Chain A
Amino acid sequence: MAKIWVFAEVNNGKVDTAALEILTKARELGGEVEAVALGPGSTDAAKELGQYGATSVYASDDEVYADYVAQPAAHALHELVKEHAPELILFATNYDSRDIAGRLSARTGSTLMSNCFDILGTDKARTTIFGGATVVDVALEGTPKIALVRPKSFEPEASGGEANVMPVEVDIPDDLKKAKRVERHEEQASGPKLEEAPIVISGGRGLQDASNFELLDQLAGAIGNAAVGATRAVVDAGWVPYAYQIGQTGTTVKPGVYIAFGISGATQHIVGMKGAKTIIAVNKDEDAPIFQIADLGIVGDALKILPQLIEEIKTRKG
C-alpha cells in the first residue's frame, strides 16, 4: 500500500489545523497515512495526529528544528524519506512548511506542486489559476511526489485512531545550523482570530489612509464576533500588520459573511476569500472585479458608507 505522509507543523505545543485537514483528506486516498512532526511538542502532538488518521507519527522534540530555519527539518525529512520511501508527501502552505518542502524537492530531485486545493490520488492534485476561475488537474511523476496544500481546503474530521510514535533520531550536521531564530514577536489581535471569525470585515486602498482602518474596527465592534482583515496592497503600504493580510500570501478565510470596503478584487486577494458564504462589497469603481463575485455590491464611497453603517447597526441592535 502506498505510503502517504503529512508533514505537521507544531507551534507552541499546538498542531497546525491545516495538518488535520490534510490528514482527513489523506485517509480517503486509500494508502497508509503517516505523519511527521519535528520540534518541541511533537511527541505529544502524535496523539491528535493519530485521532485524525495517522497510523504512525515520526516525531522529534529536538529544539534544533525550532531554533534553525528549514535546513535541519529538510535534512531529517530527507533521511526519513530514504528509509521509508513514501509515495506522496503533503505539506500545508505555511511559512516553514513551504521552505522545508522546497529544500526537500532539491534533495530528492522530485517535483513539487504548490497551491493545491484538492488531492485526487497519490499522483494527481488540483489547483486553480486566474484567481480561481480555472481549475487545473496535474499529474505528478517521480517519487516521492511533494505537494503543498492550501489551508482550509478540507474540513478536518477525526477518525478516532491511535498513532504509533516513531522517535526520529537524525544527527543534524553543524553546517545546517546556520539561520538562527534569535527573537520571536507575536502581535495579539483583539476579538476572534481572522481565520476563525464568522464575519470578516476587510479594507483596501479605497480607504485612502491608514487611520480609516479605525472605522473597520468600529464596525467589527458594532456587529460583534467579527475580525478585521486587509489586502496585500495596504499591508505592503504599512497601514496594518501582516497578520491582517488575506489572500494568496496571507490568510485564507471562509467566513459566513465577508464585507469588503475599498477593495478592487485583485486575484491575489480573491484567492483568499472567495470561499465566503456571503460576500458584500463597497467600491467606488463600478468595474471593480470584486463585484463579479459579490452577492451584494454597492457602488459608492466606503468612507461615506462606513459611518452610516455603524450607526445603522447600532440603531437596529438597540
Chain B
Amino acid sequence: MNIAVCVKHIPDPNLPGELDGQRLKREGVQGTLDPGDEFGVETALQLKQAHEGEVTLVSMGPPQALEGIRRGLSMGADKGVLVSDDSLQGADALITARVLAAAIKRTDFDLVIAGVESTDGYTGTMPSTLAELLGVPQLTFTNAIEATGDALKVHRQTVDGYQVVECSLPALITVTAGVNEPRYASFKGIMAAKKKPVEELSVADLGLSADDVKVAQNIVDISQAEERKAGEVIEDDGSGAAKIADYLKEAKVI
C-alpha cells in the first residue's frame, strides 16, 4: 500500500502568533511539524508495517518547510516532496489542494492521509477539496482505521457519536489527534532521515499555471476584537469554593 501523507510546517503553536502585514508571520519564527500531522505519519507507518509499500510525505511551504518533512522522515517515512514557490504565499485551501493534488498525482498512491485541520489555519476543507481533485472518496474525522489490501473500514466521528464507514481504495482519510501514539524519532532515525530523498518542486514543475494559484481571498480589514476584560483573579486560600458559589448566586444559577 503506497501512502502519501500531507504534512505542514507551521509556526510553533505554543508561541504567540504574529502578523506580517496581512499574513501570519512565518519568516524568522520558530517552526515545527504541525502536531496534528504526526498522527497521520504514524497512521501511515503502521499501515506500511502491515501492508508494505512506501510512505511519501508531501508538503507545500517555504524552503524551511523541509524541516517538517525531515521530522516525518526521521519517524520512518521513506521520502518527501516539497513544493515551494514565491507565488504560493497567502495560498488559500483551494490553491493548497491544487498544488498537493498535482504533487500526489506524480506518485503511485493507494491512500492519502491528512490531519483533520491544520493547527495554524484550521480551515478543515483542504483534504476534501484534495480528494475531489484526485477523484477519490474522503473519510474525514477518522479515529479508528482498519485496512485490508484494497479497502478501508473506519470509525468517523460525528457530533454525537461515530459512524462506521467502508470504502475501496484509492481513498483519502483525515485522522484525528489521539488516533494513535506517534513514535519518537530515534537517533538512528534522525541520521537516516538526512539521507532520504526529498524532491523540491516549483509550481511550474507541477504543470500549474499562474491562474491555478491566484488567490481569490483578500483581507480588506484587520481590527482588534472587543476584548473580554480579565476579571478578578484570586489565590485559593481555602475560600475559593465559597467565592465561586457567591458568583453563581449572583448569576442566579443557584
Binding site for B on A (CB under 8 A): 69-71, 74, 93-95, 98-103, 105-107, 109-115, 124, 128-130, 132-142, 148, 178-187, 198-199, 223, 232, 235-238, 241-243, 248-249, 251, 256-257, 259, 267-268, 274, 277-280, 282, 286, 291-301, 304-305, 308-309, 311-313, 316-317
Contacts and interface: CB of A to CB of B under 8 A. Distances in A.
Contact of A182 (B141, B164, B220): B164
B233 A300 contact: no
A105 B162 contact: no
Contacts of A114: 93, 122-125
A297 B168 CA distance: 51
A299 B94 contact: no
B128 A103 contact: yes
B209 interface: no
A308 B254 contact: no
A286 B245 contact: no
Interface of B: 13, 16-17, 19, 24, 92-94, 97, 116-117, 119, 122-133, 136-141, 143, 156-168, 171, 176-178, 215-225, 227-228, 230-236, 240-245, 247-249, 251, 253-254
Nearest to A266: B13
Given A256-B253, A309-B245, 16 more contacts: A70-B137, A98-B128, A102-B97, A102-B129, A111-B215, A136-B222, A137-B220, A184-B164, A248-B117, A259-B244, A267-B13, A277-B251, A291-B233, A298-B233, A304-B236, A308-B242
5 contacts: A102-B97, A105-B97, A114-B122, A241-B161, A293-B230
A282 B244 CA distance: 10
A110 B230 contact: no
A139 B159 CA distance: 31
B19 to A, nearest CB: 7
B240 A300 contact: yes
Contacts of A199: 253
A110 B216 contact: yes
A280 B247 contact: yes
Contacts of B163: 181, 183-185
A248 B160 contact: no
A296 B249 contact: no
Main secondary structure, interface of B, reads mixed
B80 to A, nearest CB: 24
Contact of B220 (A93, A124, A186): A124
B181 to A, nearest CB: 11
A99 B220 CA distance: 27
Nearest to A222: B254
Contacts of B171: 178-179
A125 to B, nearest CB: 9
A150 to B, nearest CB: 11
A187 B160 contact: yes
B131 A296 contact: no
A137 B119 CA distance: 20
Nearest to B177: A236
Nearest to B176: A236
Given A134-B225, A180-B166, A251 B251 contact: no
B159 A102 contact: no
A176 B220 CA distance: 38
Contacts of A235: 178
B140 A223 contact: no
Given A259-B244, A312-B245, A132 B178 contact: no
Given A105-B93, A138-B217, A139-B218, A185 B234 contact: no
B254 A317 contact: yes
A184 B161 contact: yes
A274 B178 CA distance: 25
A238 B178 contact: yes
B131 A103 contact: yes
A286 B253 contact: no
A113 B231 CA distance: 34
B129 A180 contact: no
Contact of A139 (B116, B138, B220): B220
Given A102-B93, A132-B225, A286-B233, A257 B168 contact: no
A111 B216 contact: yes
A149 to B, nearest CB: 13
A257 B222 CA distance: 30
Contacts of A295: 231-232, 247
A242 B225 CA distance: 29
A79 to B, nearest CB: 14
